[in-house]
Homo-oligomer: A and B are copies of this chain.
Amino acid sequence: MEKLREIVREGRRVGEEDPRRIVHSFKVGVALVLVSSFYYYQPFGPFTDYFGINAMWAVMTVVVVFEFSVGATLSKGLNRGVATLVAGGLALGAHQLASLSGRTIEPILLATFVFVTAALATFVRFFPRVKATFDYGMLIFILTFSLISLSQFRDEEILDLAESRLSTVLVGGVSCILISIFVCPVWAGQDLHSLLVSNLDTLSHFLQEFGDEYFEARTYGNIKVVEKRRRNLERYKSVLNSKSDEDSLANFAKWEPPHGKFGFRHPWKQYLVVAALVRQCAHRIDALNSYINSNFQIPIDIKKKLEEPFRRMSLESGKAMKEASISLKKMTKSSSYDIHIINSQSACKALSTLLKSGILNDVEPLQMVSLLTTVSLLNDIVNITEKISESVRELASAARFRNKMKPTEPSVSLKKLDSGSTGCAMPINSRDGDHVVTILLSDDDKDDIDDDDDTSNIVLDDDTINEKSEDGEIHVQTSCVREVGMMPEHSLGVRILQI
């Protein structure tokens, strides 16, 4: 009884996790009843005669071919159909050849054919490319070839058999494919797309929260709240092992016809490129996560000074990732992550300048290990984030995402980047159609870098800008690429792009 209740609970969990599973179960039931009633009311009556075998094949095709996603169903259905056709043709030839050779040699010849074909096809199944795409087809090929060539029918009967076998496979396969496409379809491509978006979101959430977790001892609060936040933060762990899911989804997605926002030849392979980078980033985050609660004993004032660029590195990477995920989700070309990438890179530079300034000279090296490892991990994450945004950009152009609407009226808002150190603006390569205005401002608040309140006023208010750019309004891109010693100090550049 307890066992039964547990099963029901598990069933509810599985159903709630993805309600499409319940729908899928109904679809399978419907397909099966449809196909079997089609054969049930055949003139010959079902299963009692020669044609009964065919009804069996149709029911079998439905049970075996109907998979959760359209891509998987199509892949199996097409594999089964084509393999049956090819194997049927070959088997007919083999049968003909064997029957010409007389009654004693015939069985030996047939056995040899079956042996060679089966062994060869089994071996070919080990080829990586065949395994990925045509594994099921090879299986059905062996099956059909053996069944038809071993049968001792006369040639006309065999033609009948081959034809009816093909027609039943067609009836079963086509009903599966039609039902899976037209009744609440589950597209593997859509799932892959959503998985990638949600993985980006998860990492972005971690990076945006990281600063708070690292610098505030947020472990001393309401236990339930802390635990919930912790669980939320550690959702990134699901990204670490997402490879096999992504691979199989991409494998099915390439079988799917154009649907929704996904056109013909949608670049599913590029999704795997982005996904691999996202996973690489997740592994860095996993390492970072182990340093969250390391209480490094660094004087509080130094900690305060480091906090700002630290927070900004992770926050801006997180925002860039969020922008990339929004661009992917809405399937629009976007460069709104550029600004966050540049901000995070400038925070990197600010941090290194801070470290160069000798701020840590009095700290013992051993106490720096955890701190500097965090720095280098964050640095890695900033770099990977740039790569991710690059690969999302490539995906956007390969998939021909639409551009954002042109703005009608430019509404410019100027903000200053905190300089924090020797900094300068350098013009970025102008993209086509952009109006680039480069303003060089003299910046004298170098002494303010330690003042947190002031800094937070200087930092760009990115949310405002992003929301505007999402509405198709003017987009202000503030760049601050610092190359120490290459350009005059204390100059800050604000670059205005009209997109």
List residues of A whose CB falls within 8 A of some B CB.
10-11, 14-15, 21-22, 24-26, 28-30, 32-33, 36-37, 40, 45-48, 52-53, 55-56, 59-60, 63-64, 107, 111, 114-116, 118-120, 122-124, 126-128, 139, 142-143, 146-147, 150-153, 241, 243-244, 283-284, 286-287, 352, 355-356, 358-361, 364-366, 368-370, 372-373, 375-377, 379-380
Contact = CB atoms under 8 A, between A and B. Distances in A.
B370 A143 contact: no
9 contacts: A21-B126, A25-B122, A32-B114, A46-B151, A46-B152, A52-B151, A59-B143, A372-B372, A373-B376
B364 A356 contact: yes
B375 A114 contact: no
Contacts of A358: 364-365
A24 B124 CA distance: 12
Contacts of A284: 287
Given A241-B243, A287-B287, A22 B365 contact: no
A157 to B, nearest CB: 8
A280 to B, nearest CB: 9
A29 B115 contact: yes
Contact of A152 (B14, B48, B364): B48
A215 B366 CA distance: 21
Nearest to A141: B63
A115 to B, nearest CB: 4
Given A30-B115, A63-B118, 17 more contacts: A11-B127, A15-B123, A21-B126, A29-B119, A32-B114, A32-B146, A40-B107, A48-B152, A56-B147, A60-B143, A63-B142, A64-B143, A355-B364, A359-B365, A361-B361, A365-B372, A373-B376
A40 B63 CA distance: 28
Contact of A123 (B11, B45, B287): B11
Given A24-B122, A111-B36, A127-B11, A368 B370 contact: no
Contacts of A287: 283-284, 287, 380
Given A29-B115, A115-B30, A151-B47, A356 B366 contact: yes
Contacts of A146: 32, 36, 59, 63
A52 B53 CA distance: 10
Nearest to A45: B152
A63 B287 CA distance: 47
Contact of A32 (B45, B56, B115): B115
For A15, A30, A36, A37, the residue with the greatest tally of chain B CB atoms inside 10 Å of its CB is A36
Contact of A119 (B25, B139, B150): B25
A368 B364 contact: no
B14 A126 contact: yes
Contacts of A14: 123, 126-128
Contacts of A114: 29, 32-33, 36
Given A150-B59, A372-B365, A372-B372, A21 B139 contact: no
A26 B365 contact: no
Contacts of A64: 139, 143
A133 B111 CA distance: 35
A230 B11 CA distance: 50
A47 B360 CA distance: 86
A459 to B, nearest CB: 23
B365 A47 contact: no
Contacts of A128: 14
B153 A47 contact: yes
A118 B15 CA distance: 16
Contacts of A369: 355, 372, 375-376, 379
Contacts of A32: 114-115, 118, 142, 146
Contacts of A127: 10-11, 14
Nearest to A158: B47
Contacts of A126: 14, 21
A364 B14 CA distance: 55
A59 B147 contact: yes
A355 B53 CA distance: 80
A360 B124 CA distance: 60
Contact of A48 (B55, B153, B355, B365): B153
Nearest to A120: B25
B33 A115 contact: yes
A142 B243 CA distance: 31
